[in-house]
Amino acid sequence: MQRAERLLDMIQSLRRRRRPVTAETLASELDVSVRTVYRDIGALVRQGVPVRGEAGIGYVLDAGFDLPPLMLSPDEIEAVLVGMRWLSERADPTLARAAEDVVSKVAAVLPPHLRPVLLDGALFAASYPGDLPVDQVDVAAVRAAIRNGRKLSIEYSDESGHATQRMIWPIGMTFYERVRIVIAWCELRQAFRHFRTDRITGLLALEERYPARRADLFRRWQKEEEKTREEWERCKREGGENAAADGSPADAQPRITAPSTSVARPEATSASAAG
């Protein structure tokens, strides 16, 4: 690897992180010695790259520093291409159009020798036959509420068709092959819940902010999900051990009850109330 390429890779590694990264970690990623990392950090600082930190603690790249988009590698271009092709098939119409716009904008700034990698790319996202569930509301409004930390009033119909009115605090969205799931705190259930976008039959976007920081809520949701997975795995292990003790076949499926995910209502702080 040429030194100029290595320096660019080091900048990119620093850009990916919000917290300081040690020289040992950088050395492992770049396949160089720690001493080389120290020299390269010094070279970047002398060239005006805003890297802060020191040996033994770690390094961080100041916010605001950026590289021109022309510095995309062929692998990075193909990553953009596959991701945007996947979104164009599975996202809501607004996000799908945005994915197509991203490809056009990236193509406009690429040097001529790299443009075919994007425009004539041979990497595709698989599209499966069959009708996809159709959303009855504007999912772009849900994404906007997530970004802005606003409450949503929704009408939701479960798998059996039972409808309920919910007030939710949307904090994220997961894209699956055929459906999209909204992650939210539900005021009715007083817990985190998951809502399929195609089962939301009515939606009203409110100006009211929910009284907690989205990042804090998301971390709480992640912890609960991890705890739920751990409890589920423990139940499966105990079920398997009991089956073995009873002489049941090794492939018998134990009866498992999913653990409860109910939690206390997240408390607002002065910082979160201020947005």
Which long-range contacts link 55-59 to residues 24+ away (Cβ below 8 Å)? 55/23, 56/22, 57/20, 57/22, 58/19, 58/20, 58/21, 58/22, 58/23, 59/14, 59/20, 59/21, 59/22, 59/23, 59/26
Residues 50-67 have a mean pLDDT of 81
Asked which of 63-72, 150-159, 228-237 is least confident by mean pLDDT, the reply is 63-72
Between 263 and 240, whose confidence is greater? 240
Q: What is the pLDDT of residues 9-32, one digit of tens each?
A: 888 888 888 789 999 999 998 889
The token pair that represents 188 in the structure block = 């009715």
Q: What does pLDDT average to over the chain?
A: 82
Task: Give me the pLDDT at residue 70, please.
Answer: 56
Q: What is the pLDDT of residues 76-97, one digit of tens each?
A: 899 999 999 999 888 899 999 9
Burial of 14 (0-12, 13-18, 19+ CB in 10 A): buried
Residues 183-197 have a mean pLDDT of 95
The answer to whether 13 touches 51, Cβ cutoff 8 Å, is no
Distances (CA, A) of 210 to 6, 134, 151, 219: 44, 28, 6, 16
Task: Give me the pLDDT at residue 104, please.
Answer: 86
Task: Give me the pLDDT at residue 272, please.
Answer: 31
Task: Give me the pLDDT at residue 1, please.
Answer: 56
Task: Give me the pLDDT at residue 247, please.
Answer: 54
Task: Give me the pLDDT at residue 68, please.
Answer: 60
Which long-range contacts link 91-96 to residues 24+ away (Cβ below 8 Å)? 91/175, 91/180, 92/135, 92/138, 92/139, 92/140, 92/143, 92/180, 92/197, 93/140, 94/138, 94/139, 94/140, 95/139, 95/140, 95/143
Nearest CA-CA partner of 239 in 262, 258, 223: 258
Examine the pLDDT at 253 and tell me if it is beyond 50.
no
Task: Give me the pLDDT at residue 258, please.
Answer: 35
Band of pLDDT at residue 112, cut at 50, 70 and 90: confident
Asked which of 44-58, 171-185, 210-224 is least confident by mean pLDDT, the reply is 44-58
Helix-helix angle 23-30:3-15, to 10 degrees = 130
Q: Is the dihedral of CA 215, 217, 222, 223 positive or negative?
A: positive
Q: What is the pLDDT of residues 121-168, one digit of tens each?
A: 888 888 766 677 889 999 999 999 999 999 999 999 988 989 999 999
Examine the pLDDT at 262 and tell me if it is beyond 60.
no
Task: Give me the pLDDT at residue 148, please.
Answer: 94
Name, of 127-136, 185-194, 236-245, the range with top average pLDDT: 185-194
d(CA 96, CA 6): 35
d(CA 25, CA 263): 37
If one counts every other C-beta atom within 10 angstroms of the C-beta of residue 121, the result is: 16
The pTM assigned to this predicted structure is: 0.64
